[in-house]
Amino acid sequence: MKPQRFISAAAAFVVFLLAITACTGDKPAADPTDAPVTASPTATTAAIPEPTTVPEPSHSPSEPAGGETQAIKGTGVYNGQIDNHSIEIQTEEGPVAFELGAGMESIPETLNEEDQVVFEYVEKAVNGDASLKQRVLTKLAASGGETGKGTGLPQTKQLELMLEGNREVKTATLASGDGYSLYVVDILALDSAKGRLYLKADPDYYADIEKLPSDFNLDALLVEGREELSEIGEVKELKGQERASQLPDARLLLTASGNGGTRKYIVTEKDGQGYIIRMNIPYGDATEGFPPHAFASLNTLVNQVTGE
């Protein structure tokens, strides 16, 4: 009977082991990630793309990326060189400085001051500041109409005059009359048929130009002038500096003032040719402004000898 008890005990022990095995088999296998992590985790950050800058549309469609505008054309009067790299041109805006572009250093040598010129230039921003522009010439040449036809004179000229105690410079245009030429400032005009230089805004302000014969007699003209002006008021003859300040080349300058204004009788001589100038200056808005402009133009009077 002992062997049977041993087998039963052994069988019971086997059953016990099988039960334990069954219980442990029901548990899921340990997740590897549940194990303690001894290494420090590495933080990973998703890459963020850098923002791209979309260029704003240019406010000036003619301005390329280099900061230069497209070529701008203009005309004016050549005033001369400022230095080896820049020149000055009289334009509608007034005197303007331009830098000579590459390869243009010798062009000013082909020009004379007061030549009429045509030019092209580009504007460059100075040190990246769009509010500051540098004008750089790309083309410069004397224009086809740089001189008055048949006169050999420049088409325009800069004239200095005193207005209310201030010295001003104005551009005057060449005009021709009966055997003479002169430069006319912008507020005046010349009626070449009448020989009358007048104020555009009010033609009652004028200076009549009359050529004299080659054998004119100054004493006789003095008498004539006094007779003409005596109808206006007391006649005064200006001499010395008083005369030279108005018309330096005048040989005779008479003036008289009355209720209607002032009149002047002037005899001047240019290149051996004598002229009488009769000036009318009414009282009004242009009483002070007309004479300086008229004298500035009359001072440029030149005799033109025409071929027979």
Within-domain flag for 25: no
CA dist 226 and 223 (Å) reads: 5
* pLDDT tens-digit series, residues 61-100: 344 445 566 889 888 888 899 998 899 998 877 789 999 9
Whether the predicted pLDDT of 22 surpasses 60 = no
**Is residue 37 within a helix (H) or strand (E), and if so which, with residue range?**
none
Where is the domain boundary, 116, 142, 168?
142
Same domain, yes or no, for 90 and 178?
A: no
**Residue 1: per-residue pLDDT:** 44
**Residue 146: per-residue pLDDT:** 43
Confirm if 96 and 88 have CB atoms less than 8 A apart.
Answer: yes
* pLDDT tens-digit series, residues 25-49: 454 444 444 444 444 444 444 455 5
Same domain, yes or no, for 138 and 233?
A: no
Query: Which residue would you say has higher pLDDT here, 205 or 114?
Result: 205
Residue 184's CB is within 10 A of a number of other CB atoms, namely 23
Residues 6+ apart with CB under 8 A from 284: 202, 204, 205, 261
Same domain, yes or no, for 111 and 214?
A: no
Same domain, yes or no, for 133 and 186?
A: no
* pLDDT tens-digit series, residues 236-248: 999 998 898 889 8
Please report, for the domain that includes residue 76, its CATH number. Answer: 2.40.50.140
- How much of the chain is helix, strand and coil, in % rounded to 5? 20, 40, 40
- Please classify residue 10 by burial: count the beta carbons closer than 10 Å to its beta carbon, then call 0-12 exposed, 13-18 middle and 19+ buried: exposed
CA dist 141 and 87 (Å) reads: 13
Same domain, yes or no, for 112 and 174?
A: no
Structural domain including 192 reads: 156-303
Within-domain flag for 4: no
- Between 17-21, 228-232, 248-252, 259-263, the lowest mean confidence (pLDDT) is in 17-21
Same domain, yes or no, for 214 and 135?
A: no
Same domain, yes or no, for 293 and 160?
A: yes
**Residue 153: per-residue pLDDT:** 78
Same domain, yes or no, for 168 and 132?
A: no
Same domain, yes or no, for 132 and 165?
A: no
Within-domain flag for 92: yes
Within-domain flag for 294: yes
- Between 102-116, 135-149, 200-214, 284-298, the lowest mean confidence (pLDDT) is in 135-149
Where is the domain boundary, 142, 171, 196?
142
Same domain, yes or no, for 165 and 294?
A: yes
Within-domain flag for 2: no
Please report, for the domain that includes residue 229, its CATH number. Answer: 3.40.1000
Same domain, yes or no, for 100 and 208?
A: no
Same domain, yes or no, for 249 and 178?
A: yes
| Structural domain count of the chain | 2
Report the helix count and the strand count for the chain, using DSSP H and E. Answer: 4, 16
**Strand intervals (E) in 143-288:** 156-163, 166-176, 180-185, 188-191, 196-199, 206-211, 235-237, 250-258, 261-270, 273-282
Within-domain flag for 150: no
